[in-house]
Amino acid sequence: MNHRHRNKHRGFTLVEVMIVLAILVLLIAMVGPRLLSQQDKADKQLTLTQINSIEEALKFYKVDNRTYPSTEEGLASLLTKPADEARGRNWDGPYLEENTVPVDAWGNQIQYQYPGTRGSADSPDIWSLGPDGQDNTEDDITNWTGSGSGEGGTNTPDNTGGGANN
């Protein structure tokens, strides 16, 4: 009898491996940008939520102290009693749940200015430098309404300019 031995451990040919790799590259090229876009939206929404949380904490601070912290005192005033006895007399903080001032989704400090110059003069300006880490660019995320053009940035994750105050 003539027995032919077949190789039962046959591997993939180079052409088959190349076809599979080409398909994987195409799938990654199609799906990758969508995933990155969703991550960008999530980062912006997280940062806007942090800004809103700080804004609410500042309102409680103002109820107790009759004014917002100055730009110089900054957001640290939400965590520690002011050294000035007159300013700290009614301080009832800390006003943030965390024991630290939150940073934005890109690791940058949240910016603060009072009195505000970009939104309402009787309320503080609170903003993130956005993904690029630069001030006064289109990607800044703010607590005032309006779009960038060097005057802050959008305050909504979808760049509609709807605003945290709306």
The enclosing domain of 68 has a CATH number of 3.30.700.10
Question: Is 95 a domain residue?
Answer: yes
Number of H helices and E strands in the chain, helices first, is 2, 3
Average pLDDT, the chain: 81
The count of structural domains within the chain is 1
Domain membership of residue 38 as a residue range: 32-126
| Percent share of the chain, pLDDT over 90 | 44
Residue 101: inside a domain? yes
Whether 78 maps to a domain, the answer reads yes
Cβ atoms of 112 and 75 within 8 Å: the answer is yes
The dihedral formed by the CA atoms of 47, 50, 51 and 55, expressed in degrees to the nearest 10:
170
Q: How much is the pLDDT for 131? A: 92
In a domain, 102, yes or no: yes
DSSP state of 109: B
Span 120-155, pLDDT tens digits: 778 999 999 999 999 999 999 999 976 443 334 444
In a domain, 52, yes or no: yes
